[in-house]
Structure 1
Amino acid sequence: MNRASLTPWLALSMLAFSGCSGKPLVPKIADADPQALPADLRTKFEVIEVGQPTPSPTPSPTPEPKGKGRHKKKKAPPVAKHSKKAPFVVPNRRPKSDPFWVGEKQTLEVTYLGLAAGNFSMEVLPSKKIAERNVYHFKGIVKSSALLDVFYRLDDMIESFWDYEGLYSHRFHMVLDETKQARDVLELYDPEKKKAFYWNRRNQPDKAPVETKEYFDMVPFAQDSFTAVYYLRTLPLEVGKTYVYPVVSEGKGWDCVVNVVRKEMMDTPLGKKMTIVVHPQTRYNGVMKQEKGEGTIWVTDDDRRFIVRLEAKVKIGAVAAQLKEIELGEKPADEPAPSASPAP
């Protein structure tokens, strides 16, 4: 499967790479030094805890005391006329009802060829701030089972920071700790400049470590490969309709095309629930990719849109994930104050 398409419904296929490696585990990648980021990105994309004090404003210079003597007023120099740049405006795409409650945690049991392969969990953590904007904090964990560890061990983490009003990604972080590789990927998205920063560090057995740092073009207000499924949960998902939205991942941009095919009653940890069945696909440069790994998602037909089941085809067979545990989280008492408007 193409790692560039590592959306949550495909992430579970990470648990299906069970080819016997017989090789020792690669060493973990050391934590990245934030100072290694360009200074402007380090400041702009710093994650701030809500309630954490912001830096005090720089005081204005103390005005000089007015003299007793009379002074002639100097004429101000003429102001050069410049064409005004259109202000950068973030769209407000919030759904009528917020489906993402702090403390929400969905744990899905993953099976491959009928065997327990591991667990895939998705969690909503307390909100943060980035660039003075309120953001959701989403975290996903993929862990292989003891049975799969014999063949291929996985302990992977995905983390995203998602704009509260605009519903687009600011920051994406992925750490892979696996038998055949260790990776640390950081992506930072600037919709105003239409640029993204990509930092990838990778260790593999019998190969020299690889590090990549680069900028790439992106469409504004796009999803990353993790928030793509959270954005899906905000859509109306009417049967027979197709929804398309941009995704950026691994230095590339592509479209997520979601076809809503039917409704289906399913057993869930919350009892019997009507679900909406969708088929997500990827479209790159206008061409639909019929790759193995694309699959099916079942989400509850209610305001929360919980993920009940995932299925994906892989190189050999198919992998599935079924919701086994769910924590609803805490219903928001009220919504946070609007984010600060960016300066024009």
Structure 2
Amino acid sequence: MRKQCKGMFTGLLFSLLLSGSALAQGEARTAFGPGEQARYRVQYLGVTAGSAQVTVGAPMKQWGKEVWPIVAVAKTESVTGVWPIKDKFVSYWDFGTQRVLGSDMMEDENRRRRRVRVKLSDDGRSAHVVKQKDGETPREFTHELAEGTLDIAGATFALRNRTLEVGKEYAYPVFTGSKSFHMKAKVEAKETLSTELGKQEVYRLRVYTEFSGNLKSKRDMVAWLTADARHLPVRVEAELALGALVAELTGYEQGKAVAPAPAATAKNDT
């Protein structure tokens, strides 16, 4: 059971909690800003398996450009059948152009460490990937990308900046660091959801992905985002190959409001 569940918790955080796909362009506001912090409880098969924290960091320089680091940290609790995990994922969000420049993934799973760095080209049409396990030589790869490709975190935060409408679907290419695919998110309904932070008016979205292996979905994932200007993810449910996973919001601090620069209108809305 332990071997089967290795990486499942992190997969939920970085591939489910940070799901949804639409390019944040042409909007007159931003739903998030530096200083925002959201905390989540993650359950596996009905039992609390760990926690996650997603933070929008202060502006910094990366690859010669000013970015907002979107930092997600996941760790497991002492639960039978789950590896000890403490992973960190940083997506570098270029606020000026409303695109992702790359990411760093630091994995610490069952006391085995690995790092993955992804750097997108200036035109966004390719990615240079470096993967390294502790004590081993780095391996480097180059992947061709479709125009407008985002990583999982960038796609989610981009979606939050969109004007969500019931019945509308958003679909854009996503690159995980090893695989590219189109992710689709359809807004199914507006409803009221009870959360630890009280009752929230939310949009319910059905999210289609193409994950494989342990993260392969038996059915489409479902995510709930607040219906206010924040579009904050408050709950995500997924029925995966190895069981049901749920992430629920338990704490939140709002960040600084910043007006984005004008950009081209996003494509692929239907």
1:154 to 77, 81, 85: 85
The amino acid that maps onto 1:145 is E
CA deviation map 1:167-222 (0-9, x unaligned): 2210211111011742210000014262210111136xxxx947420112112332
Q: Is the 8 A contact 1:185 1:199 kept in 2?
A: yes
Q: Name the counterpart of 1:232.
A: 159
Question: Identity over the aligned pairs, expressed in percent?
Answer: 26
2:189 to 258, 262, 280: 262
Q: Name the counterpart of 2:43.
A: 111
Q: Name the counterpart of 2:96.
A: 165
1:328 to 250, 254, 257: 254
Determine which structure has more spread, i.e. the larger CA radius of gyration.
Answer: 1
The offset of 1:95, in angstroms, is 2.4
In the alignment, the residues of structure 2 paired with residue 328 and residue 267 of structure 1 have an alpha-carbon distance, to the nearest angstrom, of 20
Q: Name the counterpart of 1:202.
A: 133
2:207 to 275, 280, 297: 280
Worse-matched range after superposition: 109-118 or 125-134 = 125-134
Distance 1:93-1:186 versus aligned 2 partners, 3 A rule: same
Q: Is the 8 A contact 2:12 2:245 kept in 1?
A: no
1:10 to 1, 15, 38: 15
Give unmatched runs, 5+ long, in structure 1: 14-90, 339-344
CA deviation map 1:41-68 (0-9, x unaligned): xxxxxxxxxxxxxxxxxxxxxxxxxxxx
In the alignment, the residues of structure 2 paired with residue 101 and residue 193 of structure 1 have an alpha-carbon distance, to the nearest angstrom, of 23
Q: Name the counterpart of 1:313.
A: 239
The offset of 1:104, in angstroms, is 0.8
Matches within 5 A, 1:22-171: 93=25, 95-130=27-62, 133-148=65-80, 151-171=82-102
Distance 1:314-1:255 versus aligned 2 partners, 3 A rule: same
- The runs of 4+ residues in structure 1 deviating greater than 6 Å are none
The amino acid that maps onto 1:156 is D
The offset of 1:226, in angstroms, is 2.1
Distance 1:336-1:98 versus aligned 2 partners, 3 A rule: closer
In the alignment, the residues of structure 2 paired with residue 169 and residue 154 of structure 1 have an alpha-carbon distance, to the nearest angstrom, of 26
Q: Figure out how many residues of one structure are paired with residues of the other and give that number.
A: 249
1:300 to 195, 215, 226: 226
SS in 2 for 1:231: helix
The amino acid that maps onto 1:165 is G
Q: Is the 8 A contact 1:160 1:227 kept in 2?
A: yes
Q: Is the 8 A contact 1:94 1:167 kept in 2?
A: no
TM-score in terms of structure 1 length: 0.64
SS in 2 for 1:229: helix
1:220 pairs with 2:125: no
Distance 1:114-1:249 versus aligned 2 partners, 3 A rule: closer
